[in-house]
Structure 1
Amino acid sequence: MYVHREVEATVDKTLKQGKVVLVTGARQVGKTTMLQQRFGDAFDYVSMEDPRLFSLAKQDSVLFFESRELPLIIDEVQRVPELFSAVKWVVDQSQEKGRIILTGSQTYHLMKGVSESLAGRIRIIEMPSLSLRELLGVAEAPNGFVPHKVKSADITSLPEGFDIWEAIHRGSMPELQNPEVDWDAYYADYVSAYLERDVRDLVNVKDEAKFYSFMVACAARSGQLLNVSDISNDIDVDRKTVDSWLSVLQASNIVRIVEPFWPNIGKSLTKTPKLYFMDTGLVCHLTRWTTSEQLKVGAVAGHVFETFVVSEVLKSYMNAGANMRDVWFYRDSKKREIDLVIQQGHVLHPVEIKKAAMVGSDAVKNFSCLEALTGYEVGFGNVVCLSAEPYMITRNVQAIPVWAI
């Protein structure tokens, strides 16, 4: 059964703003299904996975477009970079907006084609896997998450029998929402296809087993400061290779790098970013936490829960087409940390992440660090946790359930 996606509203809005809309995202997050569900009656559809259409587009892109009708969805367009120039020629024949939708799962090839041929004509949307709100059936008009005071009446209660740790462990890929799909087999196939297709397309990896070890090493560090040297030593490759492979994971939307807030006030703040996977199911598969019960009580529960919460926050920005550069974290030379800092202009909203059901004022002791940042105000803060109901911790900080993001 189709799950309503919050990004649909953003696609609708964006079609009115640009001649071409590009929907990108990791493989199997539901891009094609969403577009066909939303626009199947109004748009023609072609996939570059179709050998016949692929061949035609490669050999004669002009003839390809003459054989189709607009408006048109072109799936996996990065496989045929020759199409970008033809798309430019087609859309320049008219001032009409939203005539072509492109999709793809490799941002490196996509962005190269966009920058060379479609600059000024295209709007880009990054689509994530399912959010918790979508899984719970409470998807609404998308907005990037900003800490605020919420009322219990505004938060949908969890369905009876819903297990948040099972949801974290199961992951957020649409196909896995069918309980009959084997979890471990799905991710094994997913990783295998990823290595064979995306990785080979993006970088010359001579030893796929080594790259797999790299993915495992990254998954084991999700939710932590990114230490390239540590990963390099762990898998016995040089730093340059690790940097290159990290770019591959980012280009294929597997991981996100969250930067430390850096207002250029001196050298008292860390410059080291943090690494987050966008799908906790993939993290659990790679690191072999094979059941939700093991995960819940395991040594990595805190980092995986933080990964889940941060991915939910980032998904809210992706679904809204909002600027993910407004999502930071804080860490200073005294190792005082704030898990997330959400920026709204010159207002900084602190967020702490705790896997407990009850948290006290000690959890927000570092929020005051933001007061020392000249030129910024400290806004309302949240502690995202496993409480069933929201409650105030201090006058300007409220604990909220993770499903309230």
Structure 2
Amino acid sequence: MPTRPLIPRHAAAQVNAALADTRVVLVNGARQAGKSTLVRVVAGDRLVERRDLDREPDRTVAIADPEGFVDSSELLVIDEIQRVPQLLLAIKVSVDEDPRPGRYLLTGSSQLFGMIDAPDTLPGRMETVQLWPFSQGEIDDEPDGFIDAVFTLGPRLKHTSTVTRADYAARIVRGGLPEAVFRDDPGRREQFLDAYVQALIDRDVRQLSDIQHKGQLRKLVRLLAARSATIISANSLESALELSRPTIARYLQALEETFLIKRIPGWSRNLGHRATAAPKLVFVDSGILANEMAVEARALLRPGAPFGPLLESFVLSELCRQLTWSGQRAELSHYRDRDQFEVDAVLENRSGQVVGIEVKAASTVRQGDFRGLQRLRDRLGEDFVAGIVLYTGANTLPFGDKLRVMPVSALWQVAAP
């Protein structure tokens, strides 16, 4: 069997930096996103002990003797820490007695402190590094520097692309989970993705939430796929699933905590309004999304196919990935006002500067496609850095003051200045 290539991860530098000055480092992300491989690379030549809580013998010992399980004079790697959250208290005691940095390197496949039975024990002692599935730049060995570039250069940023609509469709369907990326046979990839979602529901989601309607939860995932990149609320799903609003809200929370979906909040300069604005939902991995919608790459190119929503979800998830390593500390939101002006993605850095992004699954763009970006620009004035319409065409073109159309591939092919 041929050896798979080792794809370098942007997160490796973050983990190394955190181990140098922080007692506990958690690499958190979706199952099979490459956490264990990343940890092996980071550990390198260090003296390391390893535990894996997906293995029943390790889990049994961890539950019976938490203090003994975490006792180590070397860097201790513990995979899937969410399986025995009681270990966090034992780790706290250990690092309080011996506060050297780089004591523990943990991996997890759920939002650890969202768990019902996870004690809140490690504030100030632990740094979390988010690991998403592969970005397009990681797969292609490209720089993945769009966010830093657009905040630095604004409308002066330019990019020319040779990526075709067919290639974008293929990238969407492939996604970024390593096992799916390395499977060239579409049928084998689909089998993996089917099993992946089912296993997530059967094991991880049920660990986090009281799931009484497993069949309805599977139906919910497919309904969410059909509505990806749209504003989702629990009450809009009530009649379709015949479940109560609180139950649906709880299931949505569990799906987000296990990194299947992500909710993008609504943007507002009013922080109170931002916290209550309806979020937009995207899937963490576009390959899972396409598989749940039962669409193939060639079918996406046909008239009437859901290329637009899938491309928007793909772009939003690539932006989420890039925000975990970009130099710009920015937050991702979407914009929609009472007059129905909309912007697919709003990036705001800590200085209050804003970049607006629209996504169009077309190789030509019209002035009307900038309607929401123009509203945002006029409202923000000097704080508005640039408005970009990402499209499937080849060139960067001006469309007015601070407004540009640019190929989608700029997301991963542009380097940070």
TM-score normalised over the length of structure 1: 0.89
Residue equivalent to 2:52: 47
Residue equivalent to 1:116: 120
Residue equivalent to 2:335: 330
8 A Cα contact 1:78 1:110, kept in partner: no
8 A Cα contact 1:269 1:331, kept in partner: no
Residue equivalent to 1:277: 283
Cα distance in 1 for partners of 2:400, 2:209 equals 50
Cα distance in 2 for partners of 1:23, 1:96 equals 19
Segment of structure 1 superposing worse, 243-252 or 101-110: 101-110
Pair 1:245 & 2:251 matched: yes
Residue equivalent to 1:88: 92
CA deviation after TM superposition for structure 1 residue 83, in Å? 1.2
CA deviation after TM superposition for structure 1 residue 145, in Å? 7.4
The amino acid across from 1:295 in the alignment is L
8 A Cα contact 1:346 1:375, kept in partner: no
Quick one: which of 67, 73, 76 aligns to 2:77? 73
Residue equivalent to 2:157: 150
The amino acid across from 1:97 in the alignment is P
Residue equivalent to 1:304: 310
Q: How does 1:33-44 map to 2 (within 5 A)?
A: 33-42=37-46, 43-44=48-49
CA deviation after TM superposition for structure 1 residue 285, in Å? 1.4
8 A Cα contact 2:299 2:305, kept in partner: no
Quick one: which of 343, 347, 356 aligns to 1:342? 347
CA deviation after TM superposition for structure 1 residue 332, in Å? 1.0
CA deviation after TM superposition for structure 1 residue 236, in Å? 1.5
Deviations 1:154-196 (A, max 9, x none): x7865x9982211101221111122345121001110121121
The amino acid across from 2:293 in the alignment is T
Cα distance in 1 for partners of 2:387, 2:263 equals 22
The amino acid across from 2:409 in the alignment is W
Question: Cα gap change, 1:204/1:111 in structure 2, threshold over 3 Å: closer, same or farther?
Answer: closer
Cα distance in 2 for partners of 1:267, 1:78 equals 33
Q: How does 1:356-395 map to 2 (within 5 A)?
A: 356-371=362-377, 373=379, 377-395=383-401
8 A Cα contact 1:169 1:281, kept in partner: yes
CA deviation after TM superposition for structure 1 residue 248, in Å? 0.6
The amino acid across from 1:189 in the alignment is A
Segment of structure 1 superposing worse, 2-11 or 243-252: 2-11
Pair 1:18 & 2:22 matched: yes
8 A Cα contact 2:34 2:178, kept in partner: yes
CA deviation after TM superposition for structure 1 residue 271, in Å? 2.4
Q: 5+ residue gaps in structure 2?
A: 412-417
CA deviation after TM superposition for structure 1 residue 237, in Å? 1.1
8 A Cα contact 2:144 2:322, kept in partner: no
State the SS of the aligned residue for 1:46.
Answer: strand
| Residues paired across the two proteins, number | 399
Displaced runs of 4 or more, over 3 A: 108-115, 139-149, 155-158, 265-270, 319-324, 371-376
Segment of structure 1 superposing worse, 390-399 or 310-319: 390-399
Residue equivalent to 2:414: none
The amino acid across from 1:117 in the alignment is T
Deviations 1:79-136 (A, max 9, x none): 1122112211222233422221111101145767776211110111111111111121
The amino acid across from 1:65 in the alignment is V
Quick one: which of 149, 174, 179 aligns to 1:175? 179
8 A Cα contact 1:382 1:398, kept in partner: yes
CA deviation after TM superposition for structure 1 residue 228, in Å? 2.4
What value does the CA root-mean-square deviation take over the aligned residues? 2.9
8 A Cα contact 2:66 2:86, kept in partner: yes
State the SS of the aligned residue for 1:98.
Answer: coil
Pair 1:287 & 2:293 matched: yes
The amino acid across from 1:58 in the alignment is I
Q: 5+ residue gaps in structure 1?
A: none
Q: How does 1:217-236 map to 2 (within 5 A)?
A: 217-236=223-242
CA deviation after TM superposition for structure 1 residue 211, in Å? 0.7
8 A Cα contact 1:143 1:319, kept in partner: no
CA deviation after TM superposition for structure 1 residue 141, in Å? 7.5
CA deviation after TM superposition for structure 1 residue 295, in Å? 2.0
Cα distance in 2 for partners of 1:378, 1:69 equals 51
TM-score normalised over the length of structure 2: 0.87
Deviations 1:50-74 (A, max 9, x none): 22222222111222233x4421211
8 A Cα contact 2:398 2:404, kept in partner: yes
Question: Cα gap change, 1:57/1:40 in structure 2, threshold over 3 Å: closer, same or farther?
Answer: farther
Residue equivalent to 2:213: 207
CA deviation after TM superposition for structure 1 residue 15, in Å? 2.2
CA deviation after TM superposition for structure 1 residue 375, in Å? 8.7
8 A Cα contact 1:381 1:396, kept in partner: yes
CA deviation after TM superposition for structure 1 residue 359, in Å? 1.7
Cα distance in 2 for partners of 1:114, 1:382 equals 42
